[in-house]
Structure 1
């Protein structure tokens, strides 16, 4: 009788632990890969929020850490596709039917054509935020770190965009 109770308690403990761990694992947003955005948009069209960054950028790492801890970001993550794009990636990427590649600017330096295209005219800064609507039109662009309050405003705007899209016939 005692052994049966211990087994039952152990089973309950395992179930509770696995549920707790699944909540923890789901508490972080997994960025979409930019090369898959076209196919994702074909399945379900929604805004695309892109963070242009580099591996060496300390502010980019800081921004990514803030995002991973931002509860509002996690709550609204289903409203948009979130992409972290390395502006120095050497991968050729097809985006909206056009191929983009890394372009060297020196011996060990360069930038990706897609990062330049998303950045628009002007100097490419890191991090840079770009929000695209369902038709890939730029709605918002910001060079630099977004403080939590401004990130919250951006997320609210994305929520408003998504809500208005649902009301359209």
Structure 2
């Protein structure tokens, strides 16, 4: 067996090798099916998630896995769901929230016209913990003004299950 020059050993589980070019080809193929570009995702994260799906099917190479994807549309959905990042948490990245609270939010509050609402969109919100964290930061920045300044937070995510969880307040 010959291995591609740019292969990554994923030795956490079975001996699986994921060639970088084969992985990029698979991501391009997946984008054509699902409409989502995963190419900017961290390579190690994609490898780990792809490997999980390959282990489920007992295959060793991306070519073998591509044959499964071609034959089973439900596996395309499973891979898509596996690749979506659902990591969230309240104040997940404390440095970012501190920067928002110290530098960004005060400018947003100060730059708005009287009577103008503060509107913030959070794309990729998963189940919403970071949106709630942002709301807390914003309310803390507003202090006594929170009663007179309208606030609108918009949250979106391509994962329907995560959005449903966020709407339910879980």
TM over 0.5: no
TM-score normalised over the length of structure 2: 0.20
TM-score normalised over the length of structure 1: 0.20
Structure in which a larger fraction of residues adopt helix: 2
Structure in which a larger fraction of residues adopt strand: 1
